[in-house]
Amino acid sequence: MQHVTTHRTGGIIAQVLAGAWRTGGPPLEVEPEDLQRVAPLLHQTGTGALVWWRVRGTALADTETGDGFHQAYRLHTLEAEIHALRLNDVLCRLDAAGIDALLIKGWAIARRYPEVGLRPYTDLDLIIRPGQGEAAQGALAVPLALEGPVDVHDGPSRVDALGFEQLAERSEAVSLGDRLVRILGAEDHLRLLALHALRHGVFRPIWLIDLAVCVEGRSSGFDWERCLGPVPRQREWVIDAIALAARLLGAHVEDTPAAGRAGTLPDWLIRAVLRNWARGTGTSHLEPVFDALLARLRSPRLAWAEARRRWDRPIEATLEVGGPFNHLPRWPFQMVAVARRTPEWREALRRPTAPRWRDPGARQTAPC
Amino acid sequence: MRQDSEQSRARTSGLVVKGVGEELLVYDLARHRAHSLNRVAAAVWRACDGTRGVAALGQAASRESGQAVPAEAVRYALQSLGRAQLLEGPVEEGGLTRREVMARLGTAAAVALPLVTTIIAPTAAQAQSPPPCLKENEGVCATAAQCCANGCGGANCVCVFSKDRFRCVRPTIGDPKQ
């Protein structure tokens, strides 16, 4: 019964968000009470503004639930302005320190939506040339005028198979006010977004919407070979992620390598995504499982619930093991994924003192 | 209490302003509060250059908004803008209520009433907005217990694990890492 309810909640979310990114999309046909039921999940996972985009001008806009989406739209719109100022500050500092940076996710994808405020994000993700991490840390040591998380990846190895030089060579410069921002080429960015979504169990519907926006807005010269990348298994994963966007949200993927895949995706994969949407949270950004279980040792019930939650991540497990999204059961992948995390458990037991991301002795002036 | 001789001046620093359709959205970076101004309130606010009195503000706002903005509406706007701390100097402490203004203006009030609305995040978990609550040398910790024991920087802050470290963050709309 629980499963049916969860599945249905995820299904309503999919229904609400289908085509929501398109200007003049189809009218939303959902019962007001259903919309009200999933509203907290939509807000929680950052799609409130998009829902407003879809319900404005309809009777749903005048409801209390609709007003909540309107508020989300207003807040996200303002946040987008603030992020642009922060991004400008960060890039100015990195420029001054002679650091090459490629912006990924966040603003780099939000700019492709009809309005940048429709796609909220929290932190700024930048890939820098390998070995420049320390210099970047120094450049960002003085608190930003508008504080916010900045994730600086020292080289792209954690997010992509290609090297920095290759990505930089294919990157493009786009305007942000008076500044030029280097973002990944459309093909590389789509691959990175697809793999990132899967790596986190696609628990945010916005990640599939990102893929839909990229695919539907691609240029005529879009190079699919370049997009899918050189690693065979990753090519399959990228196709499967795009197919998920088509299957669950109605993304137009005709004339793409994912065209025939949407109908053949395994049921467990669809169910896993809908289950994650119904939960509204993922496990990838939480504390490691060992710490989580340790903290709940006094309550076996909570510990058991946490253990079940951490086990139920078949998508992440498939990626961690390097497996395919086929129709075979997932438990072997999940078992291997758990076993592979053993070193993390050992690490947790002997974790050293707190890492520092800001050096208290760093210079106290910033160039920007 | 604002003196008659003092004219209202719109705050310009520490604000992020964005026009969306007929409304003007304003984010106060110092107080982390967001406001929505309707067309009339926005017109009055923009006209507050520190030199205009109520009558002149009404005229300027009428020109910009394309509708008559009577003195009562201007006073109500100044009161609302002052309460939202969008004006420099002391706050207008008039006791006008929306109902009183509407009664005085009659049927025209429906279109001429200036509205300044504070934008509230749709759910309690979605606190006001950035900035995240990273504390100098305390926002990053080795364990969740250590991170959260330090208070995580205030209300609505949560401890999350991201990229091999724990961080205190204040979620905006949704969780971190979007």
CB-CB under 8 Å, B159 with A147: no
Residue B34's SS3 state is strand
CB-CB under 8 Å, B159 with A44: no
**Would you say residue B100 lies in a domain?**
yes
Which contiguous run of DSSP H or E holds residue A186?
Answer: helix A186-199
**Residue B168 forms contact with A (CB below 8 Å):** no
How distant is the Cα of B166 from the closest Cα of chain A, in angstroms? 7
Stretch A72-78: mean pLDDT: 94
**Would you say residue B113 lies in a domain?**
yes
The DSSP line for A279-297 is: H---STTS--HHHHHHHTT
In single-letter form, the type of residue at position A156 comes to P
- Predicted local confidence at residue A264, as pLDDT: 97
Percent of chain B as helix, strand, coil, to the nearest 5: 30, 20, 50
ipTM, two decimals, is 0.79
**Residue A122 forms contact with B (CB below 8 Å):** yes
**Would you say residue B8 lies in a domain?**
no
Both B50 and B108 in one domain: the answer is yes
d(CA A110, CA A49): 12
- Predicted local confidence at residue A158, as pLDDT: 78
β-pairing verdict for B116-119 and B33-37 = antiparallel
Stretch A140-150: mean pLDDT: 78
Both B160 and B102 in one domain: the answer is no
- Nearest residue in chain A measured CA to CA from B176: A122
- Predicted local confidence at residue B101, as pLDDT: 75
β-pairing verdict for B140-141 and B158-162 = unpaired
**Confidence band, pLDDT 50/70/90 cuts, at residue B150:** very low
Contacts of B176 in chain A (CB under 8 A): 122-123, 149, 285
In single-letter form, the type of residue at position B97 comes to T
DSSP tally for chain B: helices H, then strands E: 6, 7
**Would you say residue B92 lies in a domain?**
yes
CB pairs under 8 A between A and B: 152
Both B41 and B114 in one domain: the answer is yes
The answer to whether the beta carbons of residues B47 and B64 sit under 8 Å apart is yes
pLDDT tens digits, A243-280: 999 999 999 999 999 999 999 999 999 999 999 999 88
**Confidence band, pLDDT 50/70/90 cuts, at residue A4:** low
- Name the more confident of B92 and A76: A76
d(CA B10, CA B2): 14
Q: Is the pLDDT of residue B1 over 60?
A: no
Both B105 and B44 in one domain: the answer is yes
d(CA A54, CA A75): 17
Round the average pLDDT of chain A to a whole number and report it: 87
Stretch A159-183: mean pLDDT: 92
Both B143 and B81 in one domain: the answer is no
d(CA A300, CA A317): 25
Tokens 């949270």 appear where? Answer: A281
Contacts of B36 in chain A (CB under 8 A): 74
CB-CB under 8 Å, B134 with A74: no
Stretch A99-106: mean pLDDT: 94
Contacts of A48 in chain B (CB under 8 A): 122, 173
- Contact partners, residue A134, CB within 8 Å, separation at least 6: none
Both B115 and B135 in one domain: the answer is no
d(CA A43, CA B107): 37
Nearest to B146 among A39, A148, A354 (CB): A354
Lowest-pLDDT range of A65-79, A303-317, B26-40, B64-78? A303-317
d(CA A203, CA A335): 21
- Nearest residue in chain B measured CA to CA from A202: B178
Both B33 and B75 in one domain: the answer is yes
Domain boundary among B70, B87, B119: B119
Stretch B79-97: mean pLDDT: 81
- Nearest residue in chain B measured CA to CA from A64: B122
Q: Is the pLDDT of residue B68 over 70?
A: yes
The answer to whether the beta carbons of residues A295 and A310 sit under 8 Å apart is no
Range 315-354 of A in CB contact (< 8 A) with B: 348, 351-354
Q: Is the pLDDT of residue B151 over 70?
A: no
- Contact partners, residue A183, CB within 8 Å, separation at least 6: A102, A103, A104, A108, A171, A172, A173, A174, A189
- Nearest residue in chain B measured CA to CA from A203: B178
pLDDT over 90 percentage in chain B? 33
Nearest to B132 among A72, A147, A292 (CB): A147
Both B114 and B138 in one domain: the answer is no
Domain boundary among B119, B154, B169: B119
Q: Is the pLDDT of residue B156 over 70?
A: no
Both B96 and B137 in one domain: the answer is no
Range 83-102 of A in CB contact (< 8 A) with B: 85
Stretch A340-357: mean pLDDT: 60
pLDDT tens digits, A214-223: 999 999 999 9
Q: Is the pLDDT of residue A329 over 70?
A: yes
**Residue B111 forms contact with A (CB below 8 Å):** no
**Would you say residue B158 lies in a domain?**
yes
Q: Is the pLDDT of residue A224 over 90?
A: yes
Identify the burial level of A155 via C-beta atoms within 10 angstroms of its C-beta, where 0-12 means exposed, 13-18 middle and 19 or more buried: middle
Structural domain total, chain B: 2
The domains of chain A, with CATH numbers, are: 2-282 (3.30.460.40), 283-350 (no CATH)
- Name the more confident of B33 and A235: A235
Identify the burial level of A29 via C-beta atoms within 10 angstroms of its C-beta, where 0-12 means exposed, 13-18 middle and 19 or more buried: exposed
Tokens 């310009």 appear where? Answer: B12
Contacts of A200 in chain B (CB under 8 A): 177
**Would you say residue B7 lies in a domain?**
no
For residue A155, the 8-state DSSP code is S
Identify the CA nearest to A20 among candidates A290, A304, A245: A245
The answer to whether the beta carbons of residues A171 and A180 sit under 8 Å apart is no
In single-letter form, the type of residue at position A115 comes to E
Nearest to B178 among A46, A348, A351 (CB): A46
Both B94 and B34 in one domain: the answer is yes
Domain that holds residue B60: 15-119
**Would you say residue B147 lies in a domain?**
yes
Look at phi and psi of residue B53 and say left if phi exceeds 0, alpha if psi is from -120 to 50, else beta: beta
Both B66 and B103 in one domain: the answer is yes
Stretch A323-350: mean pLDDT: 84
- Predicted local confidence at residue B155, as pLDDT: 41
pLDDT over 90 percentage in chain A? 65
Stretch A296-317: mean pLDDT: 83
Q: From the centroid of its chain, how far is CA A349?
A: 30
Domain boundary among B69, B97, B119: B119
**Would you say residue B6 lies in a domain?**
no
Both B36 and B107 in one domain: the answer is yes
